[in-house]
Amino acid sequence: MTMQALPRLRGKKNNLRTAVTVFVVLICVNLVLYFSLVAPFRARLRTGENRYEELRKRYAEAVLFKKQKSSFAGIMAGVPSQKDMPLLVKDLVQTARQLKLGVASVKYDIPKRSGGELAMLAFSFPAEGRYPEIKRFVYDVETADRLVGIQNLELEADQGRVKLNMKLVTYIKGSEVR
């Protein structure tokens, strides 16, 4: 090795030392910035994401509630009131008579409610006729738009005719007190 090569080697060593020192300093600055700025924000980011998820769920529940509220209002509009009960019975009697069924007297007692409260009302519906017409009437009651359900169904055969005694259930709204 010659004497002239030694200063060039020292110059390259100094440049290499300077580059390594700059690299180490940059890594240290990067670590300091990461732990002082990025790490605390990561915790805040997780908290913010959790809050966002919670708000999103609450919003979805609110939208669902709003949809259900309007559906429930529609159902409540379809519930007959106390004064509509004779019309409901008349409609059932007409349906039975159109099917050529004989209908005995329908008995019901309207419970006293006020302020729009719902009350369950059960009533008996006796009818008599041929089996196909009875079957059709039961089907019509089950599939009608009216809010009427069949709670009990009794059939008796009597000389080629079928006697039907149904216990029907509906809900009625109490009358508004003014």
Q: Where are the domains of the chain?
A: 1-77, 82-173
Cα–Cα distance measured from residue 177 to residue 155, given in angstroms and rounded to the nearest whole number: 41
Confidence of residue 8 (pLDDT cuts 50, 70, 90): low
Record the pTM: 0.54
pLDDT of the residue at 7: 55
Please state the φ and ψ torsions of residue 79, each to the nearest 5 degrees.
-75, 125
Please state the φ and ψ torsions of residue 132, each to the nearest 5 degrees.
-60, -35
Give the tens place of pLDDT for each residue, 26-82.
Answer: 999 998 888 888 778 887 888 999 999 999 999 988 888 888 777 666 666 667 777
What single string gives the DSSP state of each residue in 63-118? HHHHHHHHHHHHHHHHS-BGGGHHHHHHHHHHHHHHTT-EE---B--PPP-BTT-E
pLDDT of the residue at 37: 81
Please state the φ and ψ torsions of residue 152, each to the nearest 5 degrees.
-150, 145
**Locus of tokens 């609110």:** 62
pLDDT of the residue at 134: 92
Write down the CATH number for the domain with range 82-173: 3.30.70.60
Report whether 169 contacts 111 (CB < 8 A): no
pLDDT above 70 (res 166)? yes
Give the tens place of pLDDT for each residue, 74-125.
Answer: 666 667 777 777 888 888 999 999 999 999 888 777 766 655 677 788 889 9
